Amino acid sequence: MNTLDQIDIRNQRVLIRTDLNVPIQDGTVTSDARIQAALPTIRQAMDSGAAVLVMSHLGRPTEGAPEAEFSLAPVAARLTELLGCPVELVQDWIDGVEIAPGEVKLLENVRFLKGEKANDEALAARIAALCDVFVMDAFAAAHRAHASTEGLARRLPAYAGRTMQAELEALEKALTTPKRPVMAVVGGAKVSSKIDLLANLVKKVDTLVIGGGMANTFLAAKGVDVGKSLCEHDLADTARMIMAAAEKAGCEIVQPADAVVAKEFKAGADNETVALDAIPADGMILDVGPASIAKVNEKIDQAATLVWNGPLGAFEIAPFDKATVAAAQHAAERTKQGKLNSVAGGGDTVAALNHANAGSAFSYVSTAGGAFLEWLEGKELPGVKALEA
Ligand code: 3PG
Ligand code: MG
């Protein structure tokens, strides 16, 4: 894969595809992690004397016409602050953009264009005409074979940006060539959304901790009465299949040893910690208890590598954030001591780690949601594959 180290981009028009699909509330960016991650590549391209066009999608607008709700304007404002120079947002850019070397401009949401999501060849050709060099830095959108990701990489001299490089290096170090023992923590609500991920991970890791609502499906499959807990009873066979695959591969699955149950799903709900054979018929498991936390932390102590995706309990509502916070902080501590390579990503995970004040201590926190999951599923990401070609 070619990187910015392989090319002199002075006086070249460089188009950088980033993932600036960030949360926005009332016109303000509420988490700028993805904008921060885009800075090194943008800065390097500007400093190298390139004319820099930054491209991204935002949300899922109806294609064909701009919609104010999905404008990148708040992102342009934040990018201006972070770069310390004005970043103009270009509305109508498809027919050409005036830009000088050393300058940077942000192109309005590429998903406003018809053909972007269908990876339309004619659209990709028109975008390609805007620049000399394509830099793909949107790892978080690399699972999409869109015109601005896969399409451009195929038709222009294409290079991986710094975030793309960092994401792939971190993931490969954690799962392709990990220091062992390697463990994974997988949580979240549903088994159904993570079947491929679990099936791939049991072949790769030594220990797999299953938490969150999806652990209930595994407990039920083993005959535990989980009361009114979130549980996909129809996936009992799938859970048993994953457990059998784990056993065959020599992967130890760590399931909850006790449960924190409540009668309602709400912050501060009355709750009790019970053994697995004592879950009340009208109770819901909202977190794992101290015995489970001790077990997870013991596994973290034994591990050299940790891959984390998904919370262990309903971390959004206190006090059911306890296990997630305790384990995340323990992993952060081991990482600070230099004993653990910890990589996290995907959906709620980053929010959960930040809630625990643990994210910044992890070795690497991915900017990606769906792309991180697909990578863990062992799938080829089209936006990465096109760079390798
Ligand atoms: C994400 O947030 O997962 C990426 O930006 C991709 O967005 P999408 O799921 O709308 O393609
Ligand atoms: Mg997504």
Segment 104-160, tens digit of pLDDT: 999 999 999 999 999 999 999 999 999 999 999 999 999 999 999 999 999 999 999
pLDDT category of residue 324 using cuts at 50, 70 and 90: very high
Instruction: Kindly report, residue by residue over 15-27, the tens digit of the pLDDT.
Output: 999 999 999 999 9
Q: Decide: 341 and 306 in contact? Cβ < 8 Å.
A: yes
Instruction: Kindly report, residue by residue over 58-112, the tens digit of the pLDDT.
Output: 999 999 999 999 999 999 999 999 999 999 999 999 999 999 999 999 999 999 9
Q: Active-site positions? A: 34, 190, 347, 370
Is 281's pLDDT higher than 90? yes
Atom of ligand 1 nearest to the CA of 19: 5
- CA–CA gap between residue 84 and residue 303 (Å, rounded): 42
- CA–CA gap between residue 122 and residue 34 (Å, rounded): 29
Place of tokens 């104010």: 68
Q: What spatial distance separates the first Cα and last Cα of the chain, rounded to whole Å?
A: 8
Place of tokens 């590549």: 41
Residues in the chain: 389
Is 233's pLDDT higher than 80? yes
Nearest ligand, CA 31: 1
Please enumerate in sequence order all residues whose Cβ is within 8 A of that of 123, keeping only pairs 6 or more positions apart, or say none. 113, 114, 115, 116, 147, 151
Q: Which amino acid is at 229?
A: S
* 3-class DSSP assignment, residue 273: strand
CA dihedral 203→207→211→217, nearest 10 degrees, is 50
Instruction: Kindly report, residue by residue over 289-312, the tens digit of the pLDDT.
Output: 999 999 999 999 999 999 999 999
Is 362's pLDDT higher than 90? yes
- CA–CA gap between residue 334 and residue 322 (Å, rounded): 18
Instruction: Report CA(44)–ligand 1 centroid distance (Å).
Output: 25
Instruction: Report CA(370)–ligand 1 centroid distance (Å).
Output: 7
Instruction: Report CA(27)–ligand 2 centroid distance (Å).
Output: 21
Residue nearest to atom 9 of ligand 1 (CA): 370
The burial of 302, by beta-carbon neighbours within 10 Å (0-12 exposed, 13-18 middle, 19 or more buried), is given as exposed
The count of C-alpha atoms lying within 13 angstroms of the C-alpha of 12, restricted to the half-sphere facing its C-beta, is 18
Please enumerate in sequence order all residues whose Cβ is within 8 A of that of 266, keeping only pairs 6 or more positions apart, or say none. 317
pLDDT category of residue 254 using cuts at 50, 70 and 90: very high
- CA–CA gap between residue 214 and residue 333 (Å, rounded): 26
Apex CA 341: angle with CA 338 and CA 342, to 5°? 120
Residues of the chain with pLDDT > 70: what percent? 100
pLDDT category of residue 389 using cuts at 50, 70 and 90: confident
pLDDT mean over 192-214 = 96
- CA–CA gap between residue 289 and residue 272 (Å, rounded): 9
Residue 184's pLDDT is 98
- CA–CA gap between residue 109 and residue 113 (Å, rounded): 8
Residue whose C-alpha is closest to residue 303's, from 339, 346, 352 = 339
Residue 348's pLDDT is 83
Q: Decide: 37 and 74 in contact? Cβ < 8 Å.
A: no
Instruction: Report CA(254)–ligand 1 centroid distance (Å).
Output: 31
pLDDT mean over 360-378 = 96
Averaged pLDDT of the chain: 97
Q: Decide: 54 and 42 in contact? Cβ < 8 Å.
A: yes
Residue 364's pLDDT is 97
pLDDT category of residue 315 using cuts at 50, 70 and 90: very high
Is 274's pLDDT higher than 90? yes
Ligand 1: residues with CB < 6 A are 19, 21, 60, 140-141, 144, 369-370
Residues of the chain with pLDDT > 90: what percent? 98
Is 347's pLDDT higher than 90? no
Q: What is the CA radius of gyration of the chain?
A: 23
Apex CA 173: angle with CA 326 and CA 363, to 5°? 35
- Structural tokens at position 62: 């109806």
**Sheet with 305-309: strands ordered across:** 252-254, 207-210, 182-186, 305-309, 341-344, 364-365
Among 70, 110, 144, 376, the mutation site with the greatest number of ligand 1 atoms within 8 A of its Cβ is 144
Place of tokens 């700028």: 32
Nearest ligand, CA 367: 1
Detail the DSSP E strand segments found in the chain: 13-17, 24-25, 28-29, 51-55, 88-90, 104-107, 133-136, 158-160, 182-186, 207-210, 252-254, 258-262, 271-275, 284-288, 305-309, 341-344, 364-365
**What residues are paired with 160 via a beta bridge?**
3, 136
Is 228's pLDDT higher than 80? yes
